[in-house]
Amino acid sequence: MENKFILDACCGPKYMWFNKQHPNVVYMDNRREEKGYFDYRKNQEIQPDIVADFRKMPFGDKTFKLVVWDPPHLKMKKISGGFAKTFGVLHPETWQDDLKRGFKECWRVLDDYGTLIFKFSDFSISFKQVLSLFPETPLFGNTSSRSKNAETKWFCFMKIPNGVKRNSSTVEEQLNEIEVKK
Could you list the pLDDT tens digit for every one of the 182 residues in the chain?
789 999 999 998 898 999 999 999 999 999 888 776 666 666 778 899 999 999 999 999 999 999 999 998 777 566 655 555 666 667 778 899 999 999 999 999 999 999 999 998 887 888 899 999 999 999 999 866 566 667 888 999 999 998 777 665 666 666 666 665 55
Q: Give the strands of the sheet with 152-158, arranged side by side.
A: 50-51, 25-29, 6-8, 64-69, 110-121, 152-158, 140-143
Residue 35 is predicted with a pLDDT of 74
Range 123-130 contact pairs with CB under 8 angstroms and sequence separation of 24 or more? 123/73, 123/74, 123/149, 123/150, 124/73, 124/74, 124/75, 124/90, 125/73, 125/75, 125/90, 125/95, 127/153, 127/178, 127/179, 127/182, 128/175, 128/178, 128/179, 130/99
Closest CA to 48 of 84, 4, 107, 78: 4
Domain total in the chain: 1
The boundaries of the domain holding residue 58 are: 6-181
Residue 96 is predicted with a pLDDT of 92
Residue 144 is predicted with a pLDDT of 62
Closest CA to 58 of 78, 37, 28, 38: 28
Residue 99 is predicted with a pLDDT of 94
Residue 150 is predicted with a pLDDT of 74
- Residue 125 DSSP class: S
Q: Please report, for the domain that includes residue 22, its CATH number.
A: 3.40.50.150
Any domain includes 16:
yes
Any domain includes 21:
yes
Any domain includes 1:
no
